[in-house]
A and B are shown apart, each in its own frame.
Chain A
Amino acid sequence: MTQPIPRLQATALNSVHRKMGAKMVDFGGWDMPLQYSGILEEHRAVRASVGIFDVSHMGEIEIHGPDAGVLTNYVTTNAVAKLQAGQIHYAGLLYEHGGFVDDILVHKVSDDRYFLCVNASNQEKDHRHIAGANRFQTTVDFASDRYSQLAVQGPRALETLQKLTTADLAAIGYYHFIDSVVAETPTRIARTGYTGEDGFEIYFAPEQSERIWYKILDAGQEFGIKPCGLGARNTLRLEAGMALYGHEIHATITPFEAGLAWIVKLDKGDFIGRAALARQKQQGVTRKLIGFEMTGRGIGRDDYEVFLDGSPAGWVTSGGPSPTLNKNIGMCYLPAEHSKPGQRIRIAIRNQLVDAVTIQAPFYKRMK
């Protein structure tokens, strides 16, 4: 007898989410919590105190061997040689034509070991892409099954997580990580996030997921910690002006168009996509990402058309209400010459054009 193939993939915490009353959604083939108590409440908990997210759907790829750094540098846009062991950077994984395969976090474990955190729905594609470029002395290991990932985010994230580890979390710099122990479990603790707040993303063996999830909820109880779903994750990252694969960036968008020139180091040696980017840098981009806020009544949402002087000129990549700013915000592509703050635009919201104005993202910056 053959078992029916489940339609959706699930993280180790799937039954916990259901038990806790989460509303579940199909997120790129994963059965994930959209929300528990409500997107607005969860969003505010992260801005004001602390929230915990199950992001175990994210993929992990390990590159190890003598040439691990060489391969990592060859398949990504950022300068791997600049990374110290224990440091992390954001990078693009590109096609030869300069479009994104994915956007990823590169963790340097040691000279011969790199740990990549990649988007859930891209992980198999990323692995094929990197393995396909591997003509070096190194191994590309698809490691997603070996890790659960939780994000603990917000101004009280450090105090919450500190209760469960003897490691000095305050000593971990932004975009740095340590391999330590959380709740008696070997854990990679990275000071990264996708919310615009201080916080940590932790990686550990999936079988410990339920225990660690509840330990963190207990530890954060005095701060009013909330379990948060992908709904709040999206509103938080949008306020912080961070890109989401499939929206701001995808296979036909380059880092320069997406405003991510800072992750492209053309002088770091050859890498996939370098020639196309060098050409684009010389010629200039024709379209560019910019933030906007609605000035008329309405919410500009993903994929709505953007008009300039009555003609279609671009599209909204992500848009929605900003719970922190109490405005309707978003990001859009516009012809490069109009992609600057203060440009009046109109967004086609169903059958009418509603006024908006471009502004520089991020919309929200935490006080440091």
Chain B
Amino acid sequence: MYPEDLHYTKQHEWVRVSDDMAVIGITDYAQKELGDIVYVDLPRVGATLQQGTVMGSVESVKAVSDIYAPVSGEVTETNDALSTAPEKLNESPHGDGWLIKLRLSAPNEVSALLSAEAYQKYVAEEETGH
């Protein structure tokens, strides 16, 4: 369910790393919790993000949720398709629904993120806790 090659956060973001570049999105659990996503607000290309700070938001019909930068770096690309088709986030959260790409400024941050297995376990606990 949660791809093995991604790293995860407890705020339900994921990161795919290759060399010093990272792709960032929100997890399947996050999109399910949000429901139908209708609006996505992303940082500008060139923006510098600090790990753990708000980098944007996703809005469902009902609510607004902040997205936190899972790692630090400079934004190199944003998924512009989401501005006209935010439903891609519901349909393919780990694929076409990616949010931004960035150049890592502190690659060592990645090692502290959750593995797929650890994230899966965390989410299972969240669900039973409800």
Binding site for B on A (CB under 8 A): 23, 34-35, 38-41, 231, 235, 298-299, 301, 320-321, 323, 328, 350
Contacts and interface: CB of A to CB of B under 8 A. Distances in A.
Contacts of B35: 23, 34-35, 38-39, 231
Contacts, number: 35
A235 B38 CA distance: 13
Interface stretch (B20-28, B59-67, B93-101, B108-116): B59-67
Contacts of A34: 35, 62
Contact of B36 (A40, A299, A350): A40
A41 B90 CA distance: 13
B50 to A, nearest CB: 17
Contact of B61 (A235, A298, A350): A235
B62 A320 contact: yes
Nearest to B33: A23
Interface in B9-67: 35-36, 38-39, 41, 57, 59-62, 64
A299 B60 CA distance: 10
Contacts of A299: 38-39, 59, 64
Nearest to B61: A39
Which 8 A-B pairs have CB atoms at the shortest separation, nearest pair first?
A39-B61, A321-B38, A40-B36, A38-B36, A39-B36, A299-B39, A299-B59, A231-B62
Give the secondary structure class of A's interface.
mixed
Nearest to A35: B35
Contacts of B36: 38-41
14 contacts: A34-B62, A39-B35, A39-B36, A40-B36, A40-B61, A41-B36, A231-B35, A231-B61, A231-B62, A298-B41, A299-B59, A321-B39, A350-B57, A350-B64
Contacts of B62: 34, 39, 231, 320
Contacts of B60: 39
A298 B64 contact: no
Nearest to A320: B61
Nearest to A323: B61
B64 A321 contact: no
A10 to B, nearest CB: 16
Contacts of B59: 299
A52 B47 CA distance: 47
Contacts of B64: 299, 301, 350
A23 to B, nearest CB: 7
A41 B61 CA distance: 12
A298 B58 CA distance: 11
Given A320-B61, A321-B38, 4 more contacts: A35-B35, A38-B36, A39-B35, A321-B61
Contacts of B57: 350
Residue from the set A38, A231, A321, A350 with the largest chain B CB neighbour count within 10 Å: A321
Contacts of A323: 61
Nearest to B36: A40
A23 B38 CA distance: 18
A38 B93 CA distance: 16
A40 B91 CA distance: 14
A231 B41 CA distance: 22
A244 to B, nearest CB: 14
Contacts of B38: 40, 299, 321
Contacts of B39: 298-299, 321, 328
A299 B41 CA distance: 11
A46 to B, nearest CB: 14
Residue from the set B39, B41, B59, B62 with the largest chain A CB neighbour count within 10 Å: B62
Contacts of A298: 39, 41
Interface in B56-110: 57, 59-62, 64
A350 B61 CA distance: 17
A298 B35 CA distance: 18
A304 B61 CA distance: 16
Contacts of A35: 35
A40 B48 CA distance: 35
Nearest to A232: B61
Nearest to B63: A301
A40 B62 CA distance: 11
A321 B38 CA distance: 7
A308 B13 CA distance: 37
